[in-house]
Amino acid sequence: MSALLTDYLGECRDLVQIEIRDIVPKDRYGPILYDLMLDYPLRSAKGLRPAICIATCRALGGRLEDVLRSAAVLELYHNAFLIHDDIEDGSLMRRGFPTLHREHGVPIAINVGDAMLALTLRPLLDNMRLLGLGKALRILDAVARMALESAEGQALELDWVRHGRWELRDADYWHLVYKKTCWYTFIAPMMIGGIVNGAPPERLRQLRRLAIYLGVSFQIQDDVLNLTADEGAYGKEIGGDLWEGKHTLILMHTMRSLGAVERAEAERILAIPQAEKSEPGVRWLRGLIDREGSLTYARGVAERAARKADRVLTNATAWLPPSVHRDFLKELVDYVIVRDR
| Residue range 111-138: mean pLDDT, rounded | 97
| Residue range 336-341: mean pLDDT, rounded | 79
User: Is the confidence at residue 156, as pLDDT, over 80?
Assistant: yes
- Give the single-character DSSP code of 276: G
Mean pLDDT of the chain: 94
Residue among 181, 41, 151 at smallest CA distance from 100: 41
Report the phi/psi class of residue 95: left, alpha or beta, with left for phi > 0 and alpha for psi in -120 to 50.
Answer: left
Confidence of residue 231 (pLDDT cuts 50, 70, 90): low
pLDDT computed for residue 341 by the predictor? 72
Measured CA to CA, the distance from residue 341 to residue 246 in angstroms comes to 19
User: Is the confidence at residue 104, as pLDDT, over 80?
Assistant: yes
Measured CA to CA, the distance from residue 35 to residue 69 in angstroms comes to 20
Question: Which percentage of the chain shows pLDDT scores above 90?
Answer: 87
| Residue range 57-72: mean pLDDT, rounded | 97
Write out pLDDT tens, residues 300-321.
999 999 999 999 999 998 899 9
Measured CA to CA, the distance from residue 180 to residue 141 in angstroms comes to 17
Distances from the Cα of 160 to the Cαs of 165, 166, 220, 270, 337, in angstroms? 5, 8, 18, 11, 26
Please state which architecture CATH assigns to domain 3-338: Orthogonal Bundle (1.10)
- Sorted by where each begins, the domain ranges of the chain are 3-338
> For the residues of 167-232, what is the DSSP string, one character each?
---HHHHHHHHIIIIIIIIIIHHHHHHHHHHT--HHHHHHHHHHHHHHHHHHHHHHHHHHHHS-HH
With beta carbons less than 8 A apart as the criterion, state whether 63 and 198 touch: no
| Residue range 321-326: mean pLDDT, rounded | 96
Residue 93's beta-bridge partner residues?
98
Question: Which percentage of the chain shows pLDDT scores above 70?
Answer: 98
Residue among 132, 135, 22 at smallest CA distance from 73: 22
With residue 97 as reference, give the H or E element that holds it: strand 97-98
